Amino acid sequence: MYKSVKEKRMKTLYKSIFVIGLGIISLTASAQKDSTLIRQVLLERDYNPTLQDASKINTTPFIYTPTVKAKDFQYISTAPQLKLGNNQLGSAESGDIKTNVDFNKKRGYVVLGAGSHSNIEAAAGYRILNSATDRLDIFATHSSTSGEVDYIDGKKYIIDDVKAKHSATKANLKYQHIFEPSILSLDASYYNTSYNYYGNSFLPSGSSAFPFDITSRQKVDVISVGAGLRSSDNNDGLLKYKGSVRYQYFKSKYGASPTEDGEKGGQLDLDVDFYTAFGSDKTIGIKGFVMNQHFSDKDRAEYFEDAFHGFTNITATPYIKFQGANWDIDLGVNVSGLFDVKTKMLFTPNVKASIHVNDVNTFYGEVTGGANNNTFLDILQENRYADPSYRIWYSKTIFDAKVGFKSGVISGFEFDLFAGYKKTNDDHLYIFGSSSYYNAYGYDGGYYGSSTENSYWSNVSSVLNANVGTGHVGGLLKTNLIPYTDLSLKAMAYFYSVKYPNGTYLYSPTEATYNPEKKAWGRPSFTAELRADVKPIDKFTFTLSYLYGGGRKALGYNYSSESYSSVSMKDINELNARAEFQILDWVSIYACANNLLFQKYELQYGYPLQGFNFLGGLNFKF
């Protein structure tokens, strides 16, 4: 009897490995079979809504509740740059998924919302199959905007306002099958985004020519297929495992100008983790991943040599975990092989530890590191307006150290105090650039080099490579001691050390051409987020959020002196409100008012965001 069960488990394990192996082979084969399918340049998603899933495939689905936090942002310790929770212009998005639903009664949802600046949001999802062993979800989201925004100090320039356009649509399909002791998941998605490079050209008022295109929409399509296999909770075998493989084909419409074709290509990601218990309080294992980014065969050296060179990152992380009664330690090391124009090896730590005191207090710390791939899919999420003339190269985080203390000693009140320092070589800083920067523009408004009107993007984020040290200190507190209210506050201060390696930059002029100042261009020195969720009655929720980000400097171009100079960017100082009322158990109504202080500011230099804007809509469950 025991032997029969064991043999069945082993056969099931072999079948599981065979299934995921077939997925990997088929995906790789399809990539090699059609080289035309493997080309791209960028996909960018700083402007992308938070396209959250209808559910995590192994849990009961949730319903979309659109949190239109307008320009809600988050400064990330790994790279403290503004990152919005939704459309940067303030349009609505398919927001956080909050409401649990008994899918024996309700299997789907629809969200519809619209507001000022032609802001539109929509989301829909349905669980087609829901059994003990199989689940199949289909869901989609959409957000778009097309409204006028004013340039900061616009009267000084040839154009003082502009229409900022953006849309993002994503359709998803997810399937999960449980065949003990493993769980297999498959998914596929199609993503489309479009936007115009509407950023300020900074040509002075009275210029006689405007050779820029600020109306054409860049378009990016991404097709993604993935598979995953992991041990289930019922797996009592010696070896536990989880792994996934994903291939993303991406294609952009335009390149360095609206007269050039964009790049096409693909990205293959493979992740594995094998681990086993070692004694009663230890776990030993090894993680690994492979990332390969490749591009089309177009003339990659049109502007810069090796501008679209392929890149592969192969990393292995052996580790051991110790767990005591009130402490735990993870010890590991990242070993990376980086295959680019030059092949390099990188060794970085992966160590984490925490000590728990009286179950309510925790001291914690970690030192990690590794290569930052900076793929075009990554950059699309970070800054869609990055210069499409070349790829942003990988950077190396030599170490990222953090320490902190968090406590919940008072019931209903929690806080977290933390600090850290990170050193990243070949980091990328965004500065002002034009796709025609290699042409000389004079203060008199004349321009030289091209005779074609509207043949260049007026403002793209060029990259300045630097070795950047980033320190931060901050705190987070949460409380529900105020009646009917959940309150949270997070504040962080940053300080930087910037060095330009060898006095030059990848695909950039020398330091002297720019500015002798060494600053973390575009990055903040202080950020704060305050959020209060008030629920005076069961069916009504009111949310108030305040966002602040200050101390940012931009490196911009001055046409009068024909040189780059440091510019102070406007502080982010924004107040937003949202209200939702549950009419029936299957329908609710919501309304949002964003930027109530009527502030003007930018995230990327020259790209102003919406001022005051509002949106309202309905949520349906069925």
Q: Is 264 helix (H, G, I), strand (E, B) or coil?
A: strand
Return the residue matching tokens 């069961």: 538
369-408 core/surface letters (b: 16 or more CB in 10 A; e: else): bbbbbbbbbbbbebbbbbbbbbbbbbbbbbebbbebbbbe
Q: Measured at the alpha carbon of residue 227, what is the angle toward residues 221 and 229, in degrees to the nearest 5?
A: 155
| Residue 341 contacts residue 362 (beta carbons within 8 Å) | no
Cα gap 53→420, rounded to integer Å? 32
- Quick one: tokens of 240? 């536990």
pLDDT (0 to 100) of residue 280: 83
CB 543 within 8 A of CB 578: yes
C-alpha 196/C-alpha 215 separation (Å) is: 6
**Residue 512 confidence (pLDDT) above 70:** no
End-to-end CA distance of the chain: 47
Nearest partner of 592 among 544, 546, 539, 547, judged by Cα: 544
pLDDT band at 439 (very low <50, low <70, confident <90, very high): very low
The distance from CA 479 to its chain's CA centroid, rounded to whole angstroms, is 28
Cα–Cα distance measured from residue 66 to residue 590, given in angstroms and rounded to the nearest whole number: 8
Write down the residue that tokens 């171009």 correspond to: 557
pLDDT of 12 > 70? The answer is: no
**Pairing mode, strands 526-537 and 485-499:** antiparallel
Mean pLDDT of all residues belonging to the chain: 80
Question: Would you state the torsion angle of the CA atoms of residues 499, 500, 502, 503, taken in this order, to the nearest 10 degrees?
Answer: -130
Higher pLDDT: 173 or 79? It is 173
- Gyration radius of the chain's alpha carbons: 25
Element (H, E) at 513: helix 511-514
Write the pLDDT tens digit of every residue in 126-166. Answer: 999 999 999 999 999 999 999 999 999 999 999 999 999 99
When divided into structural domains, the chain yields a total of: 1
Q: Of 579, 575, 574, nearest to 589 (Cα)?
A: 579
User: For 451-495, what is each residue's pLDDT tens digit?
Assistant: 445 578 989 998 888 999 999 999 999 999 999 999 999 999 999
**pLDDT of 597 higher than 90:** yes
- What pLDDT does residue 502 have? 62
User: What is the residue type of 367?
Assistant: V
Q: What is the mean pLDDT of residues 86-90?
A: 32
**Per-residue model confidence as pLDDT tens digits over 167-215:** 999 999 999 999 989 999 999 999 999 999 999 999 998 888 788 899 9
User: CA 51 to CA 123: how far, in whole Å?
Assistant: 9
Chain CA centroid to CA 273, Å: 24
The C-alpha angle 524, 529, 531, rounded to 5 degrees, equals: 165
How much is the pTM? 0.82
Host H or E run for residue 477:
strand 460-479
Q: Are 582 and 227 in contact (CB under 8 A)?
A: no
- How far is 186 from 244, CA to CA, in rounded Å? 10
For residue range 210-232, what is the model confidence (pLDDT) as tens digits?
Answer: 888 999 999 999 999 999 999 99
Residue 4 falls in which region: left (phi positive, over 0), alpha (psi -120 to 50) or beta = alpha
592: pLDDT strictly greater than 70 = yes
- For 455, other C-beta atoms within 10 Å of its C-beta total 16
Token pair in block for residue 156: 């000084």
Range of the domain at 148: 2-621
Q: What is the mean pLDDT of residues 361-368?
A: 97
Count of C-beta atoms within a 10 Å radius of residue 161: 12
User: Does position 515 have pLDDT exceeding 60, yes or no?
Assistant: no
Question: In three state form, how does the secondary structure of 150-210 look?
Answer: ECCCHHHECCCEEEEEEEEEEEEEEEEEEECCEEEEEEEEEEEEEEECCCCCCCECCCCCC
HSE, CB side, 13 Å, CA atoms: give it for residue 395.
Answer: 26
pLDDT reported for residue 178: 95
| 413-433 vs 460-479, strand pairing mode | antiparallel
Q: How many whole angstroms separate alpha carbon 595 and alpha carbon 607?
A: 16
Neighbour tally for 436: CB within 10 Å: 21
Quick one: tokens of 563? 């040189």
Per-residue buried b or exposed e for 252-286, using 16+ beta carbons within 10 Å of the residue's own CB: bbbbbbbebebbbbbbbbbbbbebeeeeeeebebe
Q: How confident is the model at residue 355 (pLDDT cuts 50, 70, 90)?
A: very high
pLDDT band of 501, cuts 50, 70, 90: confident
pLDDT of 4 higher than 60:
no
Residue 536 has pLDDT above 90, yes or no: yes
- DSSP type of residue 118: G
Instruction: Give φ, ψ of 5 to 5 degrees.
Output: -65, -40
**Angle at alpha carbon of residue 469, lines to 468 and 470, rounded to 5°:** 110
Q: For residue 343, with 0-12 CB atoms within 10 Å meaning exposed, 13-18 middle and 19 or more buried, which class applies?
A: exposed
CATH of the domain at 284: 2.40.170.20
Average pLDDT in the 581-593 region?
A: 95
Task: Give bridge partners of residue 282 from the DSSP assignment.
Answer: 322
Given a cut of 60, whether residue 66 has pLDDT beyond it is: no
Give 103's DSSP letter. T
The three-point CA angle 518-524-529 to 5° equals 170
Q: Which of 114-118, 257-261, 418-422 bottoms out in mean pLDDT, i.e. has the lowest?
A: 257-261
pLDDT reported for residue 361: 95
Q: What DSSP letter does each residue of 555-580 carry, written as one string?
A: EEEETTTTEEEEEEPPPEEEEEEEEE
Instruction: Please report which confidence band the pLDDT of residue 300 belongs to, taking 50, 70 and 90 as the band edges.
Output: low
Q: Is 204 exposed, middle or buried (0-12, 13-18, 19+ CB in 10 A)?
A: middle
Taking the C-alpha atoms of residue 50 and residue 577, their distance in angstroms, rounded to an integer, is: 19
Q: Specify the residue for token string 């730590």.
A: 349
Helix (H) or strand (E) holding 30: helix 2-33
